[in-house]
Structures are given as structure tokens and as C-alpha cells.
Chains A and B, each alone.
Chain A
Amino acid sequence: MSIAAFFDTVGGILSLDPDVILRVQTAPNGLAVAIVILLLATVSDVLGDSPILFMNRMPPGRLVAAMGIETVLSLVRLAIWMGGVALLALAVNHGNLTPANVVLVVGIGYAPMLLSFLVVIPTVGPFLRRLLIAWTLVTITASIAVASSASPWQVLAAPAVATLVILVVYRFSDRISVLLLGGLSRRFVGVDVMQRTRAMDPLLVLAVSRREA
């Protein structure tokens, strides 16, 4: 798939075009497309969260290394989440839902997070992040709806239940991820990159400046 074709596909997913979503899900390279989306979205998310590394006053080389480590840890975080969903699916013996299917369906739905580097935009960034998360939930739901290709009632109900399950698993798995990977991150990077860049306390900035002066 060419770069132009890839971005056309992403455009179709973002606009919730069921034909595009189905085409990716049934294409021989569909899983590869989903994995590329997950990888690029993770890199984009790491870029969007990069201010936390600057705030911790890292030198350039260490910052690049930290971003690399953060990308790996974020992918592990995603894997834990999708692994949780796959395990749950296996537990309830949901027919054809294999781990590869989970990656395919969730990966396609993860497309809005390709834009998550925009979270660095001042003032509106945090709002954009919420918007992207909401958009991701909608695309994941759409992806599940297309994958299930069930009756009209199921098209509405099954994806909604599945999305709810994914969200519940995400909340649970993410706590474990933050706990485990946060410790690793502090060890390797010196900063817990599993946390989002949050508001800086001006008194902390003042204290750091005074200490350095």
C-alpha cells in the first residue's frame, strides 16, 4: 500500500466510511495496516505528551532516548489492553474473535489517535485530547459494527456492549500498566512517562528557578 493510499484509508476510517473499514478488515494486508496505525498513533501520542520530558529539563540526547522508551512502553500498554480484551473474548468463547482480530478491529478504530500530536497545541490541546478519545471510541464502535456485520439490532447493540467491555478492560488494564510501566519508566527515563503532561504549578517553577539561581 502506498503512502497516499494509506492516508486515503485513514481518511475513510476517520469519516466512519463503512466500506473503507470493511475493505481494510477483509484485505490480506488489513492486519498490517492496523498495526501501522497503532504504531504511528503511539508515536504521535508520545510526541503530544513530550512536553513532560522538557519540563523535567532533559538534555536533547536523553530526551530522544526517553521518547523511544516511552513509545515502547506505550505499545506494551496497548498490548496489555488488547490482550485483556482478547482474553475476555476467549473466556466467553466468542466464535471467531482471535487476538489478531482484536488487533485488526481495535487498530482500525485507533486511527483518530494519529492526530494526538496536536495535543501539544497550547490552550486547546487538552480539549483536543478529549475530543480524540471520544472520536476513537466512535471509530472503534464503528469498526466492531462492521466486523460483526450482524442484524440491524445487533449492529447497534453488540458494538455498544463490546465498546463498553473494551472501556472497562482499558480502565482495569491501564491501572496495571501505569503501576508496572510507570516504575520501569522512572527507572529508565527518570520520569513517569505513563502520566500525561499536566498543569505546572507556578510555585514549583518559582522554587526550581530560585534553586538554580
Chain B
Amino acid sequence: MIGSLLTIFFLALLFILVISPFETLQWWAGWVSDDAPGTSMRHVAEAGTRAADQYVIFLPGVGAMGTEVDPWEQRLVDLLHAGLRGTVVLAGLFPFTVRDDTLTEHRRTAWFWRRLARLRAERPSLMARLIDWRNLTQVFVSMDPRYGPIYNKGAEEKLVAVLDEQGYPAGTGTPITLIGYSGGAQIALGSAFYLVHELHAPVTVISLGGVLGDDPGLENVEKLHHLWGNNGLEARLATIVVPARWGISRTSRWNQAIAADRLIQTRLGPMCHTGPKGYLDADSRGEDGRSYLDITADAMLEIIHTQKYFRREIV
């Protein structure tokens, strides 16, 4: 019985993986219309003043299902918002689809994902992990050189729509910082490539335990700051499974970006990827007494402040 259930579960994983590129491909081929009324932007709750000095967008990890921000992630967004005056800080964008909808709204399978969301809220289970897996497959799509350029263009168009809604002055060189947590980091890096071209903006990407590939975005972002913890298995796994990140791949974009000082990797401490003792844990404390959440937020604020200073220098 358990064997059969596990077989069904693994077949479901394989099925989700095999069909994962087709949502993007159908969107690119024009088979699906983007007529969901801006659902992915509805909960952009952290908007500040217009015509800001810079814009910061937070992209969530693979547990996201819609525009609701996870409470753990919201605490980080709140700290960033409090620490950045004159900056528009945006959160609540669902980056794991190129379509203008979310998993739980305006799609035929929405009922299934809503049911899984209820299941996850009641009791974490293997079935509920299908949400993470489904979103992770979209991260793989973003990394893939065949599908990634299309997927990342779609993600960029969603970001541009949100920035436009928040009064971003295109062409003025106002800095944009994309913060991506876990799988969101790859989407941030992938879409950054197009943001630079479309908005003529300096774009900095901050990856928090990001699962990152050898993306073209590494060639034109101002900086990619990759923050990771000693116990963050997910981020470490990416360094193993992406050959372009191995030391021997000297001509890869990843290693070229390191050589050009465009990619800066910072170890935050003995943090794991998620949950207690994770990057966003407000209870666990580092050697200096700060919570893990504060350490993470402080590292990001320092990067963003430096970015702001950099902009004033060149102006």
C-alpha cells in the first residue's frame, strides 16, 4: 500500500517535471491570454512614496502560492521597509509563473492547489510538498538555456508592470534591487537581464540562499550578492549540480562574474535554509547576539545602502 502510494507520488513528481516548461512555452506561443486582472500585483502592500530614490522588490521562495506573503518573509520585508527611507519596497509578487495569475486563482487547477494549501496549513505532509516541487520546476525552467530566456522575459514583464504601477521613472537610472529568496533568486537574476535592457536601470540582485544557475543576467547586473548559510543545503546543492559553477568551468558566466568582482558571495553564519535556525528565524541568535533574521536583514540593508551611495557618486 505504502509502496504504491510512493510510486504514485514519484510519478506525480515526474509528471510535474515533464510538463513544467509547457506553461512558459504556451505563453510564448500566444496560446494563453494574460487576461487575469492583475492578480499578481494586487497585494503589493509595501509601497512607499512615489518617485523614490530606489526600488526594492522581494521575490519569495518556492513555498509561495499566490500574492500572500509568508509571515516569515513578511518580517524580513518589514525590516527592509523600516531600514530604507525614500525607497519603494515591494513584496507579494508571485514569480513562479509567466502568466498574470497565481496557483490559487484564475487557472483550471486552482482548486487542486487551494486544497494542497489547506492541507499544508493544517499539517505539513509529503503531498503538500508538491507546491514546493511545482515551483522548483519553474526555477529549473528559468535556469534552462532553452526555456530560461523566455521564462525570464515573462517574469521581467510582470516586474516592469509592478514598477510602472509604483511610479518607477524608466530611463532615469534609478537603481533597482531584486531580492530573491531560495528559488526566487534565480527568477530575480534571470529577469534582471531584461530589466537592464528595458528600463536602462542599474539592477542589483541579492540572493538569499539562492538556487542559481549560469544565467545571462550575470553579465549585465551591477552586482549579484549571494548570501548563504553554512547549513543551507539548498544553496549548496546548486553549487554541486550546476557544472558552470564548478571551479574548473573558468569561462562560465558564473566564474567570469566572480573574476570581475560582479558576484560577491557572503556567508551569513551557521544558518539553514528555512524554518527554525534559518535565515529568517527571529529567535535563533548569532555570536553577536543579533537574531538570524536581523543578521540577514542587516546584510541586505548594507548592500542596498551601498548601492544607493554608489548611485549618488556617479550622479
CB distance from B90 to the nearest CB of A (A): 22
The answer to whether the Cβ of B216 comes within 8 Å of any Cβ in the partner chain is yes
Most buried by A among B146, B147, B150, B153: B146
Contact residues in A for B145 (Cβ distance below 8 Å): 198-200
Contact residues in B for A57 (Cβ distance below 8 Å): 28-30
Contact residues in A for B20 (Cβ distance below 8 Å): 121-122
Given A123-B140, A200-B146: A209 in contact with B153 (beta carbons within 8 A): yes
Contact residues in B for A197 (Cβ distance below 8 Å): 146
Contact of A202 among B29, B143, B194, B213 (CB under 8 A): B194
The number of chain B residues with a CB under 8 A from chain A is 31
Contact residues in A for B137 (Cβ distance below 8 Å): 122
Contact of A123 among B26, B143, B149, B157 (CB under 8 A): B143
Given A54-B25, A117-B18, A122-B137: A205 in contact with B30 (beta carbons within 8 A): no
Contact residues in A for B197 (Cβ distance below 8 Å): 206
Name the CB-closest residue of A to B219. A202
Q: Is the CB of A120 within 8 A of B18?
A: yes
Name the CB-closest residue of A to B194. A206
Q: Is the CB of B28 within 8 A of A121?
A: no
Contact of B149 among A60, A118, A205 (CB under 8 A): A205
Q: Is the CB of A122 within 8 A of B143?
A: yes
Name the CB-closest residue of A to B216. A202
Within 8 A of A (CB), among B8-39: 17-18, 20-22, 25-26, 28-31
Q: Is the CB of B152 within 8 A of A202?
A: yes
Contact residues in A for B141 (Cβ distance below 8 Å): 122
Convert A28-62 into 0s and 1s, putting 1 for each residue whose CB lies closer than 8 angstroms to a CB of B.
00000000000000000000000100110111100
Determine the distance from Cα of A55 to Cα of B150 in the docked complex, in whole angstroms.
9
The answer to whether the Cβ of B144 comes within 8 Å of any Cβ in the partner chain is yes
The answer to whether the Cβ of B279 comes within 8 Å of any Cβ in the partner chain is no
Contact residues in B for A121 (Cβ distance below 8 Å): 17-18, 20, 140
Q: Is the CB of B150 within 8 A of A122?
A: no
The answer to whether the Cβ of B181 comes within 8 Å of any Cβ in the partner chain is no
The answer to whether the Cβ of B193 comes within 8 Å of any Cβ in the partner chain is yes
CB distance from B187 to the nearest CB of A (A): 13
Name the CB-closest residue of A to B220. A202
Within 8 A of A (CB), among B75-108: none
Q: How large is the interface on A (under 10, 10 to 19, 20 to 34, 35 or more residues)?
A: 20 to 34
Determine the distance from Cα of A209 to Cα of B154 in the docked complex, in whole angstroms.
10
Q: Is the CB of B29 within 8 A of A123?
A: no
CB distance from B88 to the nearest CB of A (A): 24
Within 8 A of A (CB), among B110-160: 137, 140-141, 143-150, 152-153, 157
The answer to whether the Cβ of A125 comes within 8 Å of any Cβ in the partner chain is yes
Contact of A199 among B25, B146, B153 (CB under 8 A): B146
Convert A113-141 into 0s and 1s, putting 1 for each residue whose CB lies closer than 8 angstroms to a CB of B.
00001101111111000000000000000
Most buried by B among A54, A123, A197: A123
Contact residues in B for A118 (Cβ distance below 8 Å): 18
Determine the distance from Cα of A206 to Cα of B160 in the docked complex, in whole angstroms.
14
Contact of A200 among B18, B150, B157 (CB under 8 A): B150
Determine the distance from Cα of A200 to Cα of B190 in the docked complex, in whole angstroms.
13
Determine the distance from Cα of A198 to Cα of B193 in the docked complex, in whole angstroms.
20
Contact residues in B for A123 (Cβ distance below 8 Å): 140, 143-144, 213
Q: Is the CB of A122 within 8 A of B216?
A: no
Contact residues in B for A124 (Cβ distance below 8 Å): 140
Determine the distance from Cα of A126 to Cα of B216 in the docked complex, in whole angstroms.
18
Determine the distance from Cα of A200 to Cα of B21 in the docked complex, in whole angstroms.
14
Name the CB-closest residue of A to B215. A202
Report the 8 A-B pairs with minimum CB-CB distance, sorted nearest first.
A199-B145, A54-B25, A122-B140, A202-B149, A122-B144, A200-B149, A123-B140, A205-B149
Using CB atoms and an 8 Å cutoff, list the residues of chain A in contact with chain B: 51, 54-55, 57-60, 63, 117-118, 120-126, 197-202, 204-206, 209
Using CB atoms and an 8 Å cutoff, list the residues of chain B in contact with chain A: 17-18, 20-22, 25-26, 28-31, 137, 140-141, 143-150, 152-153, 157, 193-194, 197-198, 213, 216
Q: List 26 A-B contacts (CB under 8 A).
A: A51-B21, A51-B25, A51-B146, A54-B29, A55-B25, A55-B29, A55-B146, A57-B28, A57-B29, A57-B30, A59-B30, A118-B18, A120-B21, A121-B140, A122-B137, A122-B146, A123-B144, A123-B213, A125-B144, A199-B145, A199-B146, A200-B147, A200-B149, A202-B149, A202-B216, A206-B153
Beyond the given A122-B146, A200-B145, could you list 10 further A-B residue pairs with CB under 8 A, ordered by the A residue number?
A: A51-B146, A54-B25, A54-B29, A55-B25, A55-B150, A123-B140, A199-B146, A200-B148, A200-B149, A205-B149
